[in-house]
Structure 1
């Protein structure tokens, strides 16, 4: 069941990675809806590299855990994961074969204002350390771009690694429910085994729910397998009370499924049933949904975005030199005056200046533009979901201009929008070899009469 989704098999045990199959087998040529041609020889270790990148972006600050983990130990684990990811990716791609990617190229350009602003050391040596981390992160993406072929292979890696994270969250909830839902977070779900905040857990749950729903619509997994991922993830998302993740999930799925409506009957049926269920739920559970959305906050606190607007106003009103406006103040912990910025665009302006904001806007526009120009397909729908989710979350979450889960989501979108690579395979017995050229005999003139 769940193994179908995690191993990447189709319903019935079909393997999309085989080519030259017998009639009636998997459609490796991509002629059926929801199937894509895949290049041969993608190492399984690529999934390990992707998981190590995700581990690096989990962060080291968050809720209190059952067993107190020193922050230095967590930082060693996360940074060690990034170094290991780069080393393994380099070992898999020793010839440094890369694919052109406007997204990764713009990320590389983002290093320029980051290094220039961090070299002033106004925010300490940690800024240069963060620049090195971003450089390793981007370098690993360049090495992995060799296997970006427009298939859903990396989608499965993405679901697998974040599902493991959510399993650890669920285990913490079972082991220590009081620690997992503390009062200082308003009873919202946090990571009791690894220091994860409610927005982080909500983000991971929303992303894998959306991607799994799209895999079901694309007939890339069974409904039973997907339910084992979607149902517990929905429960954890509800326990986090994360409004941004919920809105990002709903709007992202509407846009992604809308891109499939004209070409997929399953998408049309799902869209219709979703509208009906949403209308019934809105009428029957309106008071409960409103209570969940408000989280016990006043209307004034909600309009102030739980204090975020005050931090944003103070950040914009702070005096800055021309150089600081252009290049920023240097990479930091995404805070201003000891309070989190919680806005990707203002965080980029604070740390990398107007140049950083321009680059971030450029790669978001490039990804969205390429997604709109691609013909309808499952990879395109997954990319639209990820891009729209990150765009919505950027208003109340920081991370688009530094190594973070949001950049990893966008990197996945870039891999889905890459042009399929031509697959090469050895001829088999069933493969017709080309007929050798036969010299043409010249017919005498008398024989033509």
Structure 2
């Protein structure tokens, strides 16, 4: 734990007349540049594959932008933390173990040289998180950065919808909302919207934000979430908020009121809008297509049935593009098993278990509620989305949860002012007159 904090001395030195003796020193705040570093990490995890944009963007150009953002984030974090002061973290230790395992499994080059490139990316990603851990204090600083940056991403999606509705809701995706300015898929947009909606609701319940400020985030994000028709993000939002608010029910009257109104409105909607909700949930799919999760189950069965050596079962085949047989895996646990083996699956499970266990041991608070929401959302989304084993938005969500669960750094007391030295009077010298 980093206990070497810097404090701003009052004018005139540390021991001035306006300073109360024994007063607690005030730690220096988190630098504003940390928000820039966080935004660059989010840009890196946006990806380069998605729908066609209004202005065609070459994939190589997008990859250069995302990798450049990661390198810039690492350099900025290193400049901010040039003395390499970090906070001890079981979460980051497990991510480092996952990185080492990824390098070992990728060294055989079964997944090609691209696996080593992905390992280098993961190393920069984890290294940047280590450098930022100095400012983990159990507060909501990183939550606010998270909301601002993803809201900016959603603003670009909304701008694309306004500029070109046809490109933003193409028939190729069944009329679901996609990114028309930056290539974003419906599940990505739904994930970003659901996460910032949940965090904004929890901040509002704890009066960490105003009603107008929360509404400015929640209302447009709900509209975009509805237009994506993303079932996983919607279920993750509902279940995650239920668990998070449930952790506050015994200590927060606002949480109890919100929970009661939410149950009442949900019941009324289920009764009065059942046919409309069912149509939105099915997205026009047949019962067979819905039962096999839009074809995902066939890929999962083929992946599990594929022959593997003992080494491949234990260590995997190396970091890849989260696909099998040219089709996306869309399951974090099977993607990790395919690329990092059973050992990687155990490490990822340990990450979820450790964060969840620490959250349960913390006393009720808004920080704990936000952490529970993020952890539960990632656990739910991991069933139909990949990303827990590589640099991804899901690891950023879990990093925010880890920062919320970190104990505040102990304030180092200022050195006691030296007592003024008392001058000893000298004896008067008598002048002898001859």
C-alpha deviation, 1:40, in angstroms: 2.3
Structure 1 residue 360 corresponds to structure 2 residue 348: yes
3-state SS of 2:177 partner: coil
Q: Which whole-Å CA distance do the structure 2 matches of 1:294 and 1:426 have between them?
A: 62
Structure 1 residue 183 corresponds to structure 2 residue 171: yes
Structure 1 residue 242 corresponds to structure 2 residue 230: yes
Q: How do residues 200-349 of structure 1 correspond to structure 2 at under 5 angstroms?
A: 200-349=188-337
C-alpha deviation, 1:421, in angstroms: 1.5
C-alpha deviation, 1:120, in angstroms: 1.2
Deviations 1:35-62 (A, max 9, x none): xx99423101001001100000000001
Q: Which whole-Å CA distance do the structure 1 matches of 2:27 and 2:230 have between them?
A: 39
Structure 1 residue 58 corresponds to structure 2 residue 32: no
What residue number does 1:159 align with?
Answer: 147
What residue number does 2:78 align with?
Answer: 90
TM-score relative to the length of structure 1 = 0.87
Structure 1 residue 411 corresponds to structure 2 residue 399: yes
Structure 1 residue 350 corresponds to structure 2 residue 341: no
3-state SS of 1:326 partner: helix
Structure 1 residue 107 corresponds to structure 2 residue 95: yes
Gaps of 5+ in 2: 1-7, 11-24, 421-434
Is the alpha carbon distance of 1:353 and 1:365 closer, same or farther for their aligned partners in structure 2, counting shifts above 3 Å? same
What residue number does 1:145 align with?
Answer: 133
Equivalent residue for 1:388, pick from 356, 368, 376 = 376
C-alpha deviation, 1:116, in angstroms: 1.3
Q: Which whole-Å CA distance do the structure 1 matches of 2:102 and 2:412 have between them?
A: 41
What residue number does 2:13 align with?
Answer: none
Greater shift, 349-358 or 415-424, is seen at 415-424
Q: Which whole-Å CA distance do the structure 2 matches of 1:374 and 1:233 have between them?
A: 30
Deviations 1:247-298 (A, max 9, x none): 0000000000000111111101101111111111111111000000000001
What residue number does 1:15 align with?
Answer: none
Structure 1 residue 374 corresponds to structure 2 residue 362: yes
Q: Which whole-Å CA distance do the structure 1 matches of 2:27 and 2:200 have between them?
A: 23
Contact 1:325 1:354 in 2 (8 A): yes
Deviations 1:223-269 (A, max 9, x none): 11110110000000000000000000000000000001111111011
What residue number does 1:397 align with?
Answer: 385
3-state SS of 2:391 partner: coil
Deviations 1:357-404 (A, max 9, x none): 000001110000000000000100000000000000000000000000
3-state SS of 2:221 partner: helix
What residue number does 1:430 align with?
Answer: none
Is the alpha carbon distance of 1:434 and 1:284 closer, same or farther for their aligned partners in structure 2, counting shifts above 3 Å? farther
Equivalent residue for 2:107, pick from 119, 122, 127 = 119
Deviations 1:290-332 (A, max 9, x none): 0000000011111100000000000000011111111101101
Q: How do residues 126-141 of structure 1 correspond to structure 2 at under 5 angstroms?
A: 126-141=114-129
**Which of these two proteins has the greater Rg computed from alpha carbons?**
2
Q: How many residue pairs were aligned? A: 401
Q: Which whole-Å CA distance do the structure 2 matches of 1:171 and 1:119 have between them?
A: 43
Q: Which whole-Å CA distance do the structure 2 matches of 1:211 and 1:190 have between them?
A: 23
Gaps of 5+ in 1: 1-17, 21-36, 428-432, 438-449
C-alpha deviation, 1:422, in angstroms: 2.7
Contact 1:61 1:196 in 2 (8 A): yes
3-state SS of 1:158 partner: helix
3-state SS of 2:251 partner: coil
